[in-house]
Amino acid sequence: MFPFNFEWAWDIGHAIFFGGFWYAISILGAGMTYCVLKAAYDTLKDGGGSHH
């Protein structure tokens, strides 16, 4: 799963498979990071908790 695993090979199979995998992971990670950061920002902007 990482280049340092010994069965890793720099071949087309690994490139496509793990390319797709890490790409998907990145999108999910980036998306969630954005949501969480933005939510934190929005919360602070609202003025710390009194949201009624």
Partner 1 sequence: MDSALIPEGAKRCAFPKFAVGIAIVGAVVLWGVYAMLLCWFKGLNQTNMNDNYGFALWIWADLAVIAVGGGAFFTGLLKYIFKVDELKNIINFAVIIGFICYSSALLILAIDIGQPLRGWFIFWHANVHSMLTEVAFCLSCYFAVLTIEFIPNILENRQANKIPFFHHLAHNMHGVMAIFAATGAFLSFFHQGSLGGVAGVMYGRPFAVREGLLIWPWTFFLFTWSAAAFGPCFTLLVTKITETITGKKLVKDNVVHLLAKISGWMIFTYIIAKIIDTIYWAMVTAPGLGFDISRFYSDNSFYGYWILLTEIVICGVIPGLLLIMKSTRENPALRLVAIILGVIGVCLNRWVMVLQIMAIPVMSFDTWALYIPSWQEVATTVLPVAYGIILIAVTYRYLPVFPQEKELNSVEPAAETK
Residues lying near partner 1 in the complex (CB under 8 A): 1, 5, 7, 13-14, 16-18, 20-21, 24-25, 27-28, 31-32, 34-36, 38-40, 42-43, 46, 49, 51-52
Q: How far is the CB of 28 from partner 1 (least distance, A)?
A: 6
- 2 Cβ contact list (under 8 Å, min separation 6): 8
Burial class (CB in 10 A: 0-12, 13-18, 19+), 18: middle
Q: How far is the CB of 10 from partner 1 (least distance, A)?
A: 12
Q: How far is the CB of 23 from partner 1 (least distance, A)?
A: 9
Asked if 15 contacts 32 with a C-beta cutoff of 8 angstroms, the reply is no
